[in-house]
Homo-oligomer: A and B are copies of this chain.
Amino acid sequence: MVRWQPHASERLVVAALELFEERGYENTTVIEIAERAGLTKSTFFRHFPDKREVLFGGGTMTGLLVDGIDAAPAGASPLEAVAHALDVIGREAFTADRREFGARRSAVIAANPELREREALKGLGLTASMIDALKRRGVADLTSRVAAELGALAWKIAYERWSDTNNSDNFGELARRTLTEVQAASALC
């Protein structure tokens, strides 16, 4: 019988981040991550398909982003719909108590090529989900692709700004301001 483990996924993520910081991603095993979290290897694999995946939230972000775009007001422009989704992410995922974790996670990913590759692929997946969500709103194919790229860039810049611990603005506000800046810059290209 599988025993219910409260917050197992979060505990695994925190344990993994600590171990990657202490001894490096390459020198950490899934068993060690599970042990540090007080869980078993099989619990790890119920939450994540492999070690690389543990810092990438197993699809939560995609779900929030797509739901946010779907729920944007009917008359919203493509980038307003993206801004609405980034607001949702600010409220549900990138909350103030996660800011320091965000900065540590970014540093660990930057230090490891395998994690950078996984992050790059995740980025493409998020962009593809945004494109599909925008197309469901009736946005033309090419406009959806462009809006998703601009949205992904704004997300990335807003995340850089938000995970700077000297910054106290919330993610949704930062993302909205960054999207406006990105849109203005696109007119100068």
Contacts and interface: CB of A to CB of B under 8 A. Distances in A.
A79 interface: yes
A153 B123 CA distance: 14
Range for the number of chain A residues in contact with chain B: 20 to 34
- Looking at A118, A145, A188, which has the most chain B CB atoms within 10 Å of its CB? A188
B123 A79 contact: no
A127 to B, nearest CB: 9
A189 B76 CA distance: 10
- Looking at A116, A118, A120, A157, which has the most chain B CB atoms within 10 Å of its CB? A120
A78 interface: yes
- Looking at A117, A157, A183, A189, which has the most chain B CB atoms within 10 Å of its CB? A189
Interface of A: 77-79, 113, 116-118, 120-121, 123-124, 140, 142-143, 145-147, 149-150, 152-153, 157, 181-183, 185-189
21 contacts: A77-B189, A78-B188, A78-B189, A79-B189, A116-B124, A117-B118, A117-B120, A117-B121, A120-B123, A120-B124, A143-B189, A145-B157, A145-B185, A146-B153, A146-B182, A146-B189, A147-B189, A149-B152, A150-B186, A150-B189, A183-B189
